[in-house]
Amino acid sequence: MTQGRRPPVGSSVIINSAIIVLGLVGITILLAGQLLDGDEPTGPLDLRVELEIVAAGFESPVLLTGAGEGSADRFVVEQRGLVRRLGTDGVIDDEPFLDLRDRVLHHHERGLLGLAFHPEFADNGRFFVLYSQRAGDGATAISEFTVGDGAVDESERQLLTIPSFSTMHKGGMLAFDTEGMLLAGVGDGSTGNDPEGNGQDPASLLATLLRLDVDRGFPYAIPPDNGFADDREARGEVHAIGLRNPWRFSVDAETGHVYIGDVGQSDWEEIDVLVPGAREPSFGWSVMEGHDCFYGRDCDPADHIAPAIAYAHADGDIGHCSVIGGYVYRGDAGTLPQDTYLYADFCSGTIWGARGAELRHGRAEPVTVGQVPAELGQPQSFGIDDEGELYLLTNSGYVLGISEAAPG
């Protein structure tokens, strides 16, 4: 938590270029830059974005998502082991939707890290979580729960357990892709340098994006079109390799592309893009970091998918350290330009924007869109609701809604 008085819900900070002014309606940021639609320039983007405090009082929120059930309720994951329901009025339900504190090891980067509702949740009540187990020395577990008669059945169906080797690099994001397969981001499990070489080993579940068919098989089936399905030495669950710590990723509901924020180590942070149908995709770690060979290791960039965006820790006046992957805007309300991708950095609080079409073409030119004010904490995650509206969550417990400010 940051020190000092918490700004009230509905208050704001206006950010326009380098001028910060206390305001009443949101946090407004000037966004300007050259964006592309496909391969054709569309001219500079001139947009003011308002980030309004929707709710406060969460404890280390790491994800916000809708349940896809036609409800306007939003579900917020707290790292300590709770999922809490956030109503349309900005009020947090007193009773947690899910309480796993007795099963979750919350320490350093460990905790309850991921939540994904089944695409047919409204009919089958199924949802999935990723967390660090209190039992088993912090092993990463992916488990299923169900809702019946209006309440969560606390009996747990565990799909997968991945042994823990450190307190760091857990990844943690869960999401369903456009084909109904469950994706899971898993870090390399090391404290640094990937000494076991998991990053380039498709036989390991670490340093990967996993893809599971949770509607077939027991406890799941292997999708036959997984990225490493043709490699007999690979684990069938592995869909992509070469990820150091894929803390947050998102699936483009229109195109099926996966946008991955992979946290770097020494010099670079990156946004990687997984193209639907890619075969044996590698994003480079741990022989590469960003566009560079890592610490002199043997490296042929042609063997790996280059990041669509890479930024250096030393860029800017404030040091960057950990990328917070975001979402492409596809909402119907028009609160942002369609196909705008937002992402941020945890340490510096910088927020950037880029055109999704640029990401999908493999190289984007992002622009700085703002700075999270210190009194609101540091960005930990973006979120999305059932209407496609975007949010930003901070480590000081805020949920910030993102919308376009009126001109002037």
Structure-token match 């504190």, residue found: 101
* Lowest-pLDDT choice from 11-25, 75-89, 339-353: 11-25
Structure-token match 């892709």, residue found: 177
* CB-CB contact of 393 with 399 (8 Å): yes
Q: Predicted confidence band at 380 (pLDDT cuts at 50, 70, 90)?
A: very high
Q: In angstroms, what CA-CA distances link 122 with 61, 71, 88, 119, 323?
A: 24, 10, 19, 8, 33
β-pair type (151-162, 323-324):
unpaired
User: Average per-residue pLDDT in the chain?
Assistant: 87
Tell me the C-alpha distance between 178 and 150, whole Å: 27
CA angle (1, 22, 46) in 5-degree steps: 105
At 357, is the secondary structure helix, strand, or coil?
helix
Q: Predicted confidence band at 315 (pLDDT cuts at 50, 70, 90)?
A: low
pLDDT in tens, 233-275: 999 999 999 999 999 999 999 999 999 999 999 899 999 999 9
The overall pTM is greater than 0.85: yes
* Lowest-pLDDT choice from 33-37, 64-68, 367-371: 33-37
Burial class (CB in 10 A: 0-12, 13-18, 19+), 182: buried
Does pLDDT of 180 surpass 90?
yes
Tell me the C-alpha distance between 374 and 207, whole Å: 32
The reported pLDDT for the residue numbered 42 is 57
